[in-house]
Amino acid sequence: MSLTICTYGNPILRKKAEEVTEITGEIHELAKDMLETMYEERGVGLAAEQVGRSERMFVIDIPPDSDMGDDGVRENPDVEMPLVFINPKITAHTEDIQVGPEGCLSFPEIFANVERWYEVDAEYTDLEGHVKQLHAKGLLARAVQHELDHLNGVLLVDRMSHVKKVALGGKLKRLVKETKKAL
Ligand code: CO
């Protein structure tokens, strides 16, 4: 079942998500629905808050042709997609920062450059209840950081430069207005 995406201006996006204590059938169902919704909306990541839920959980699927470094070499060739992250955290990162364009399904048609660590190590629980480690680079590392931000109530608009935020001012205002009208 595909779910409705909460857009910027919906207060749920500012909440801090809650730890998942048990991997129930409901969690499996939510993961399946979140993936379906993400594919339908052509996103590469989606956090539970974006579909109005409070679980600390997100999904990511980076297609192979988007998983390329500047040299045209796959950055995460051994990572199997899609990924379902439950109670994720970043355990380590390199100091190397990469600036890149970022979008978000909660900010339709809005893109901005955001600084992210180029490489991160993450720890999370999968749907089978196993604790997993992930070493991620490039777009995958960016997606993990973006989705983890969602679980802490931090949004794309908080990560973009002040200049960009001002430039997008009218668009952001309209989005908030539309979101509030639909609530
Ligand atoms: Co997002």
Could you report the per-residue pLDDT of 77-133, keeping only the tens digit for each?
A: 999 999 999 999 999 999 999 999 999 999 999 999 999 999 999 999 999 999 999
What's the confidence (pLDDT) of residue 70?
A: 85
pLDDT at 11 over 90: yes
* Position 140 pLDDT exceeds 90: yes
- Reference 158, options 109, 122, 115; nearest CA is 115
Q: Could you count the other beta carbons within 10 Å of the beta carbon of residue 25?
A: 7
Ligand 1 centroid – CA 85 distance (Å): 15
CA nearest 8: which of 148, 150, 166, 161? 150
Q: 156 CA distance to ligand 1 centroid (A)? A: 7
Q: What is the CATH number of domain 11-182?
A: 3.90.45.10
Residue 15 vs residue 70, higher pLDDT? 15
Active site residue 147: yes
| Ligand 1 center–CA 132 separation, angstroms | 23
Q: In sequence order, what are the residues at sequence separation of 6 or more whose Cβ sits closer than 8 angstroms to the Cβ of residue 165?
A: 157, 172
Question: What's the confidence (pLDDT) of residue 178?
Answer: 97
- Predicted confidence at residue 12, as pLDDT, reads 97
Confidence check: pLDDT of 31 > 90: yes
Distance (Å) from CA 121 to ligand 1 centroid = 20
Candidates 49, 55, 119, 147; catalytic one: 147
Residue 8 CA to ligand 1 center (angstroms) comes to 10
Q: Let me know: does 93 contact 120? Beta carbons within 8 Å.
A: yes
Domain ranges of the chain: 11-182
What is the distance in A from the centroid of ligand 1 to the CA of 46? 6
Does the structure show a pLDDT above 90 at 10?
yes
To the question of pTM greater than 0.85 for the whole model, the response is yes
What value does the mean pLDDT of the chain take? 97
Are 15 and 49 spatial neighbours (Cβ–Cβ below 8 Å)?
A: yes
pLDDT value of residue 111 = 97
CA distance linking residue 82 with residue 31, whole number of Å: 10
Ligand 1 being an ion, which residues bring their Cβ within 5 A of it?
A: 104
Per-residue model confidence (pLDDT) at position 95: 95
How would residue 21 be classed by pLDDT, with cut points 50, 70 and 90? very high
